[in-house]
Amino acid sequence: MEEKIVSLKQQGLTLKQIAEQLDMPIGKVQYAWRKWRSQHGEPAKPVAAPKRKTEGKKAMTSNLKQVPASSVKQVASTLQHEDPIQSPLLDKGPEGFWKLPDRYDQDLMHAVVQSPNAVYVFWEVSDSVKETLSMQFMRPWEDLPKAFRILDITLLDYASGHANRSYTFELPEMTNSWFVRPLDPNTTYVFEFGIRTMEGEFLPLLASSPIDTPRAEPAGHGRFAEPVRRWQYGEVESPELLDTLPKYSAYRFVR
Amino acid sequence: MKPGYFSLVLHAHLPYVRHEEKHRLEERWVYEAISETYIPILWQVDRLQKPLHWTVSISPPVVEMLADPLVQDRYVEHLDEMLELIDIELAEGRSEPEVDALHFYRQRYLDLKNTFLHWEKNLNHAFRTYREQGFIDMITCTATHGFNPHLYTDQAARAEIRTGLNCFERHYGFRPTGIWLPECAYTPGVDRILYEEGVRYTFVDEHALLDADPTPDKGIGAPVYSPHGVALFPRDQIISGKIWSSMIGYPGHPDYREFYRDLAYDRDWEYIQAFMHPEGIRFDTGLKMHRITGDTDEKDFYVRAWAEHQIDNHALDFAQTLEGHLEAHGGQMFPPFLVTAPFDAELFGHWWFEGPEFLGKVAERLEEFGIETITPALFLERHFQDLETVHVSMNTWGRKGYGDVWINERNEWMLRHLHMMETQLVKDVADYRHKSPLVDRALIQLVRHYVLAVSSDWAFILDGQTTAQYAAERFREHTRLFAELETALYQDKLSDELLADHYRAYPFLDDVDIDIDTFLSPHDFYVTEERGQVDEAILVLTPEFTGNVVGDLGRRVIDEVEARAAEGETVYVLTPFKEGLPEYERHNHVHVYRVRLTSPFLEHVMNQVAAQNVAYVKLVHELGSKVVFKAIHQFDWMTITAARSLAKALQVPLYSTMLSFETTRNPHGHGGLFDAIHRIESSILAEADTVFICEQLSTEEVGMRYPIGDNVKTCLPLDASPYGQKRLKKNTK
């Protein structure tokens, strides 16, 4: 049974789906998966786990003149440059065939709308963040209780830290996606994944971008009417409306 | 002419199911669509020989498959097989009603073949000719029918849109101003991209307008503009329902052909085997000999004359219904009332066998009734000033009206990989574009793999669970090919042969259709092309810096950073965000990032510090894709965990400066927080390559409270770089 679970997990199924498929309680599936992972080295990294760090850099530096090795530079860069680079989507299962990677060792959280009352969220926490936290709290990552927070930030700025209301709930260990429901239509939400600290405080690690749930009834003259008018008549330089397809930059923090 | 308009839109789409190997069951989807829908619709256009003002949307996968010689030749073979089967059937001495139906099919398959050969096997020529004669208008769809609301980036949506338009233009000789959004799925922002790509109108379901903000004055009686100026034409569900609903609509009439009963299942295996899949799989022949008959399993044979009679009845009924509907809204002016009826083209003919003839008859009745059929393009030309601008939220024409079909427990597993491919494409294009013609072709091929993977059909099929294995395999295959090609790109193992192999697997789209710059962001262009070379930098993590100096520590950090910068080092300083100060600033070689905590309102000190460290680690991950850090220097206990974890991940030397310790600040301290800080401080003493302690502290003093080694030193004078000390030692490891 354990082999079956591991094989399904490596095919990209969630623990929940595996539990459904095998008609087992999710707890048993979780236990088997964790046991397998702990026996096969923790965390269960894909074979030749992609080192995100080096990909872009190699791409650039391979075309640049090699900087003369002055003392410190040499120290720093040798290892970073020797890593074999490959697509993060390249991964192999135990039988040696390609499979969908289990994870990409990134910190991200994406949310997409399912309906006016439901949003699908998936996320991933990098090894470095996990390690930082376990150093900070002197406990292994697996032992830190995981939690999920729903923030209603309609007409607010998430960065201000304020929310109209929030709701936090515990998540099972090893969860990396959730259908969040029930939600309210026509509401701006941010979702956060984090841990519950010893003091019971929710410590967010990841947050989604703000997302609007669709309206499910006539709006009359609703909260969008004025922003639309201001944009339509050129009273603002950019629309005060959420754009669900923003331009992405791979090097957005590199200035 | 009566006031008001009717607009008919037919969207032809199939996933790209062309396979080099023979006998793939999925290629029969194409044959069925050609035989039952595409050619029968063309027959109606040809029969009527006048401007019908129908809008036909044809998706790039359909365009490409119709233009594909392999598909074309196999379709002719398929027709020949069908004619052979019909002749065998006729020789079997079937009952009279069966023989009648068989004669009907025999003539029909001969006609199909004649038409197909008349257009030299390429039906794009037929649609193009009728469009150029002014009989129909044509638009297209995004490259592979990707579901826009669930894409992650502007770039992916733009690539789907632009590639679709390019492909269509190559085959049809013009660039349409309208587009069919896959699944009529609208999401705020897609209108901006559509507008920028030259698209001026598209279609949505009616609740998009009914629930728009503000509520449009004319309801669904007129299109609206989205905030970015794309006209959205709403599906009129009352009128559409007459046609598509098998429950309340026309297609369920007992005299029409029964879709679910096929000759293949009424014959012995021995007999029918020769026309079935060589591996012994039974599939529909397309010879459906029965009529719906009623709510019974006992189906009677199809009587063509009866079906034709019903077509006439239903066409008349439809015209009358529409007339009543338009009259009820006859008072609407500026613009006049418009009924928009967008459909999947395959509904007509494939699902509703008699559908194409019905459409032809409707066109005739509407003319007699004086009801004007109009294309959206012409409607906009006449009434563009009369439309309201409103906000439309995400919605689709799918089950329940939103995203339920395309994201649920059966297909959610695909999404994170699709998003990964999007962000990888953005990065790869930024890093590699124009490095060489071969590399550019590889980037084009990566886009091709991505668009084939992102097709909404896979999620749709997985939702329906009918040919789920095929959909899952296709998704995996395109993802695998993407991964393998991207790896070859990174490892400089590209070759003409490799690219040819990748293309041959799915020869969809011409290279000229795919513009890799759709994936480029201006910022990435700046970083990779204009910013200059990669930094080899010192990473400094500090709780205090310019604008936020509390005591000696802050001043020490500023002095050290300035001293190193003066020596020519590039330094990245990460320090907590402070209201009123910029999140980023740069002074020559010193980059300062003031980093926001992952949450601003944490109550407990240790949690605040954890949130800060997590934020540092995440930022360095992002920076590390372009900046090479050669050493990490952290100050004070509050940045220790991020520094340790990053030093390990980046495999660089770790330096620490501790001007004070919890035990020296607070000699009689105790309790949980005190112990926790003490432990964290001990960890840096154990792990840093060098720990510099304040001149006022002696190593003996620190050694009394912490286990220390010979890596603990007194702070150096400012003009001495701390980073030279350890390099040789580290190198010899």
Q: DSSP for B540-571, please give it.
A: EE-S-BTTB--SHHHHHHHHHHHHHHHTT-EE
pLDDT of residue A37: 65
Which residue from A101, A120, A250 is facing B423, i.e. has the nearest CB? A250
Pairing of strands B536-541, B372-373: unpaired
Residue A3 CB contacts under 8 Å (≥ 6 apart), including other chains = none
- Tell me the C-alpha distance between B322 and B633, whole Å: 76
Q: How confident is the model at residue B527 (pLDDT cuts 50, 70, 90)?
A: very high
Question: Does A131 sit within 8 Å of B648, measured CB to CB?
Answer: yes
Q: Is the pLDDT of residue A40 over 80?
A: no
ipTM of the predicted structure? 0.95
Chain B nearest-CA distance from A195, in A, is 10
pLDDT of residue A84: 59
Question: Does A128 sit within 8 Å of B621, measured CB to CB?
Answer: yes
Q: DSSP for B390-452, please give it.
A: -B--SB-SSGGGSSTTTSSTTTGGGHHHHHHHHHHHHHHHHHHTTS-HHHHHHHHHHHHHHHH
Residue type (1 letter), B129: T
Chain B nearest-CA distance from A169, in A, is 17
Q: Is the pLDDT of residue B595 over 50?
A: yes
Q: Which of A79-88, B34-43, B338-347, B534-543 has the lowest mean pLDDT?
A: A79-88
Q: Which residues of A touch B531 (CB under 8 A)?
A: 254
Q: Which residues of A touch B188 (CB under 8 A)?
A: 212, 241-244
Q: How confident is the model at residue B46 (pLDDT cuts 50, 70, 90)?
A: very high
Q: Which residues of A touch B631 (CB under 8 A)?
A: 72, 75-76
Residue B352 CA, chain-centre distance (Å), reads 30
Q: Is the pLDDT of residue A58 over 60?
A: no
Which residue from A89, A115, A253 is facing B622, i.e. has the nearest CB? A253
Query: What is the average pLDDT across B456-481?
Result: 95
Which residue from B417, B531, B724 is facing A71, i.e. has the nearest CB? B724
Q: How confident is the model at residue A71 (pLDDT cuts 50, 70, 90)?
A: very low
B488-518 confidence digits (pLDDT tens): 999 999 999 999 999 999 999 999 999 999 9
Q: How confident is the model at residue B36 (pLDDT cuts 50, 70, 90)?
A: very high
A152-170 confidence digits (pLDDT tens): 999 999 999 999 999 999 9
Chain A nearest-CA distance from B699, in A, is 25
Q: Which residues of A touch B579 (CB under 8 A)?
A: none
Share of chain A above pLDDT 90, in %: 65
- Tell me the C-alpha distance between B58 and B176, whole Å: 11
Chain B nearest-CA distance from A167, in A, is 15
Coil, strand or helix: which one is A91?
Answer: coil
Query: What is the average pLDDT across A191-210?
Result: 97
Which residue from B417, B603, B641 is facing A136, i.e. has the nearest CB? B641
Query: What is the average pLDDT across B240-266?
Result: 90
Asked whether A98 and A195 are in contact (CB, 8 A), the reply is no
Query: What is the average pLDDT across B134-143?
Result: 98
Q: Which residues of A touch B614 (CB under 8 A)?
A: 129, 132-133, 205
Chain B interface, best mutation among A9, A26, A53, by max B CB count within 10 A: A53
Residue of A nearest to B673 (CA): A137
Query: What is the average pLDDT across A174-197?
Result: 97
Question: Does A225 sit within 8 Å of B214, measured CB to CB?
Answer: yes
A123-143 confidence digits (pLDDT tens): 999 999 999 999 999 999 999
Q: How confident is the model at residue A77 (pLDDT cuts 50, 70, 90)?
A: very low
Share of chain B above pLDDT 70, in %: 98
Chain A interface, best mutation among B148, B196, B230, B394, by max A CB count within 10 A: B394
Exposure string of B493-526, with b = 16+ CB inside 10 Å and e = fewer, is ebeeebbeebbebbebbeeebbebebbbbebbbe
Chain A nearest-CA distance from B4, in A, is 25
Which residue from A110, A115, A251 is facing B419, i.e. has the nearest CB? A110
B270-300 confidence digits (pLDDT tens): 999 999 999 999 999 999 999 999 989 899 9
Q: Is the pLDDT of residue B726 over 60?
A: no
Chain A nearest-CA distance from B232, in A, is 15
Chain B nearest-CA distance from A35, in A, is 23
pLDDT of residue B465: 83
Q: How confident is the model at residue A38 (pLDDT cuts 50, 70, 90)?
A: low
pLDDT of residue B49: 97
Q: Is the pLDDT of residue B2 over 90?
A: no
